[in-house]
């Protein structure tokens, strides 16, 4: 990639920011970092990065507050949520607020660079655990009321792709396994992301409501 | 006559919860005396003739006797009917016989009315002042419940106050000097005076009462916070500090440090996000426990994703054991630091996938591998009606796929 991506780090742990900066330095331009919500909102506006790496848990509203503020003024900025939390409601809440992906902080540097590129390209990034949550939330339950089949249900193909993601397959491996192109895999994952953001399925609202995220 | 001073072997004098027509007084006394509840009830009804003595006694017993510990049952209003009808009949008959002194008849009844009103308020405030071992609100539902309780509380309080007020006014009417000329206008005046007096007292006492209530509430919240902090401090002390000390002592040994850190992380996670349940009862919890054991034993990371859940039975336990064996193989032979474990509980089938991106092997040529795999994975699965498939090639990692058909009837809701 000749044109280096501009990446901005938002995390209240200085040590973690330094570590990520060192890991990413060779592959992308880290144009700035912020330790607080207010700092992030003003600096992201000034630096106009391609991708913001966003910590879920921070004082003063967390990643959610940053997302809400910046998406109003800079809709072109893309967000990748980064967290130590694997709690469903945190992750789903941030995705529904507009983040294009979620990875855990234990992710390897190569995978992180990969995820950043994917998010910058407008694709979605699901960690295995997020894929598991989505499968769980969209499980075909007989009692689940489906208001909008287009948004509230996953297609079989999307389900297959999510299962492979949850099993630890990379996009390339999924493509090979399902005999489809990587581009098609990306399309499926993006569709799932869209459903996750737009659907009003009961399970999703409940997760969000449990933590007052919506 | 009910006798309160009883020899010890008899059951304690309490109000019965399971066998009650009004408040369980009669059957409580009956249990205490070893008599029939109906007999006691008839006694109360008969005593009611004498200026409402039965009702007064009942109200007093009700106010004084503690509730039994038994679970409460619904009242059966139909059973109460004969006593009410009988009581009213007797009272009407008695008042017909006793015409010259109606006032003395009424006085007992009015006192009983006041006693009942006071009893209602008394019981309510007792309940409010001794809350059940206060656990911090677990969900929004409990808030709802408590606000409903509050409404019931106020309704009863007002009901009780109305009874007392009616009783007092009645007594005033009956015993006021020169009651022959008592008029309704006088009664109203008395009532308004009483209300004004009460309003005055309320006006004076309200701020004080409010402040006391607020202080009580904030003290209770403070206590809950304090309790949470103590719990957190204990956890940090018992686990995190020990782990950090161990890490410092083993700083040279990267594997040990990793293992310690991972174990601690898992335990903190469980503490923060609540475990999914007992490993002996839940498929998801059993798998997570197996993965945790592999992490601890072999010092690698198992990325575990479980979708859905179901109760553990013998076959599910076999599936978990096979999955564990697959993880052991991956940990021992793959040469990688991370393996993926994915499991899904669908209504008709359980599936488990154990995958590593390690060295892989040719399943036909590795004799040792074939033996372990055949016995503990493939054999175990087929014995329980399931299937195991192993996909591997040198340099491409390994994936073990296990599936077990299950009956949909035992499917539990995958949440909770």
Angle at B39 between CA B38 and CA B42, to 5 degrees: 85
Calculate mean pLDDT across residues B381-398: 85
B306 close to A (CB below 8 A): yes
d(CA B378, CA B386): 9
Candidate ranges B228-232, B274-278, B362-366; pick with highest mean pLDDT? B228-232
The answer to whether residue B72 scores a pLDDT higher than 70 is: no
Q: What is the pLDDT of residue B181?
A: 57
Of A163, A167, A164, A131, nearest to B330 by C-alpha is: A167
Closest CB to B355: pick one of A131, A139, A168.
Answer: A168
A161 close to B (CB below 8 A): no
The answer to whether residue B414 scores a pLDDT higher than 60 is: no
Cα separations in angstroms, B74 against B23, B79, B82, B85, B121: 11, 12, 18, 21, 22
User: Chain B residue with minimal CA distance to A170?
Assistant: B357
d(CA A129, CA B304): 8
Q: What is the pLDDT of residue A97?
A: 84
The answer to whether residue B6 scores a pLDDT higher than 50 is: no
Pairing of strands A101-104, A51-55: unpaired
Phi, psi of A92 (to 5 degrees): -60, -40
* Predicted confidence (pLDDT) per residue in A96-133, tens digit: 888 888 888 878 888 888 889 888 888 888 888 888 88
The answer to whether residue B379 scores a pLDDT higher than 80 is: yes
A167 close to B (CB below 8 A): yes
User: Chain A residue with minimal CA distance to B356?
Assistant: A168
pTM confidence score: 0.59
* Predicted confidence (pLDDT) per residue in B166-216, tens digit: 877 777 776 665 555 556 677 777 778 878 888 888 888 888 888 888 888
Average pLDDT taken over every residue of chain A: 82
Evaluate whether B124 touches B156 at the Cβ level (below 8 Å).
yes
Looking at per-residue pLDDT, the higher value among B89 and B212 belongs to B212
Tokens 């009424």, located at residue: B106
Calculate mean pLDDT across residues B140-151: 54
Q: What is the pLDDT of residue A141?
A: 60
Q: Retrieve residue A12's tokens.
A: 């209240």
Task: For B34-65, give one letter per residue: b (16+ CB within 10 A) or e.
Answer: eeebeebbbbbbebbbebbbbbbbbbbbbbeb
Judged by CB atoms closer than 8 Å, whether chains meet at A166 and B269 is answered as: no
Q: What is the pLDDT of residue B416?
A: 37
* Predicted confidence (pLDDT) per residue in B312-359, tens digit: 888 888 888 889 888 988 888 888 888 899 998 888 888 999 998 888
pLDDT band at B137 (very low <50, low <70, confident <90, very high): very low
A 24-83 residues with CB < 8 A to B:
none
Residues of chain B contacting A131 with CB distance shorter than 8 Å: 305
Judged by CB atoms closer than 8 Å, whether chains meet at B305 and A129 is answered as: yes
Closest CB to A136: pick one of B340, B355, B414.
Answer: B414
Q: What is the pLDDT of residue B142?
A: 44
Q: What is the pLDDT of residue B341?
A: 92
From the CA of A151, how many Å to the nearest CA of chain B? 20
User: Chain B residue with minimal CA distance to A167?
Assistant: B342
Residues of chain B contacting A166 with CB distance shorter than 8 Å: 305, 307, 342
Lowest-confidence range among A16-20, B8-12, B372-376, B400-404?
A: B8-12
User: Chain B residue with minimal CA distance to A90?
Assistant: B273
Q: What is the pLDDT of residue B5?
A: 47
Phi-psi region of B353 (alpha: psi -120 to 50; beta: other; left: phi over 0): beta
């Amino acid at each position: 990639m000749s044109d280096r991506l501009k990446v901005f780090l938002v995390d209240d742990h200085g040590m973690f920011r330094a570590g990520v900066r060192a890991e990413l330095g060779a592959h992308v331009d880290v144009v700035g970092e912020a330790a607080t919500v207010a700092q992030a909102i003003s600096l992201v506006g000034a630096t106009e990065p391609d991708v913001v790496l966003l910590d879920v848990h921070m004082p003063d509203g967390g990643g959610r507050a940053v997302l809400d503020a910046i998406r109003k003024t800079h809709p072109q900025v893309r967000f990748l949520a980064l967290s130590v939390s694997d709690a469903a409601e945190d992750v789903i809440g941030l995705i529904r607020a507009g983040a294009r992906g979620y990875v855990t902080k234990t992710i390897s540097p190569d995978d992180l660079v990969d995820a950043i590129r994917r998010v910058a390209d407008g694709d979605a990034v699901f960690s295995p655990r997020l894929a598991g949550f989505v499968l769980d939330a969209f499980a075909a339950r007989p009692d689940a009321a489906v208001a909008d089949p287009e948004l509230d249900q996953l297609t079989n193909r999307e389900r297959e792709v999510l299962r492979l993601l949850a099993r630890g397959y990379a996009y390339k491996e999924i493509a090979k396994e399902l005999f489809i192109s990587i581009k098609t895999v990306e399309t499926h994952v993006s569709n799932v992301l869209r459903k996750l953001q737009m659907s009003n399925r009961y399970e999703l609202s409940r997760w969000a409501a449990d933590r007052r995220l919506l | 006559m009910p006798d309160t001073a009883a020899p010890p072997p008899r059951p304690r004098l309490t109000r019965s919860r399971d066998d009650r027509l009004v408040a369980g007084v009669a059957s409580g006394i009956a249990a205490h005396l070893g008599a029939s509840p109906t007999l006691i009830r008839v006694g109360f009804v008969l005593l009611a003739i004498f200026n409402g003595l039965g009702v007064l006694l009942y109200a007093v017993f009700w106010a004084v006797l503690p509730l039994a510990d038994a679970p409460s049952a619904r009242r059966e209003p139909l059973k109460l009917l004969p006593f009410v009808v009988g009581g009213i009949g007797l009272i009407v008959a008695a008042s017909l016989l006793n015409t010259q002194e109606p006032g003395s008849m009424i006085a007992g009844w009015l006192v009983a009315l006041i006693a009942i009103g006071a009893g209602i308020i008394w019981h309510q405030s007792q309940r409010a002042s001794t809350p059940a071992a206060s656990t911090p609100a677990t969900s929004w539902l409990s808030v709802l419940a408590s606000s409903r309780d509050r409404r019931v509380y106020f309704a009863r309080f007002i009901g009780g106050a109305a009874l007392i007020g009616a009783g007092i006014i009645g007594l005033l009417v009956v015993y006021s000097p020169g009651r022959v000329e008592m008029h309704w206008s006088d009664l109203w005046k008395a009532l308004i005076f009483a209300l004004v007096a009460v309003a005055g007292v309320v006006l004076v006492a309200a701020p004080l009462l409010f402040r006391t209530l607020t202080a009580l509430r904030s003290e209770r919240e403070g206590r809950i916070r304090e309790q949470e902090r103590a719990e957190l401090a204990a956890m940090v002390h018992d686990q995190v500090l020990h782990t950090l000390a161990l890490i410092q002592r083993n700083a040279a040994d990267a594997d040990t440090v990793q293992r310690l850190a991972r174990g601690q992380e898992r335990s903190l996670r469980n503490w923060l996000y609540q475990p999914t349940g007992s490993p002996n009862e839940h498929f998801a919890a059993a798998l997570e426990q197996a993965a945790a054991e592999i992490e601890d034993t072999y010092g690698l990371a198992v990325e575990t994703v479980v979708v859905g859940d179901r109760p553990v039975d013998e076959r599910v336990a076999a599936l978990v054991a096979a999955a564990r064996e697959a993880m052991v193989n991956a940990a021992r032979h793959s040469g990688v630091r991370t393996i993926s474990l994915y499991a899904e509980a669908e209504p008709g089938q359980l599936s488990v996938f154990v995958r590593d991106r390690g060295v892989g092997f040719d399943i036909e040529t590795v004799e040792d591998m074939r033996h372990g795999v055949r016995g503990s994975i493939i054999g175990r699965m087929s014995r329980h009606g399931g299937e195991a498939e192993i996909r591997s090639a040198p340099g491409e990692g390994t994936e073990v796929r296990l599936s077990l058909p299950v009956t949909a009837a035992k499917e539990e809701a995958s949440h909770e």
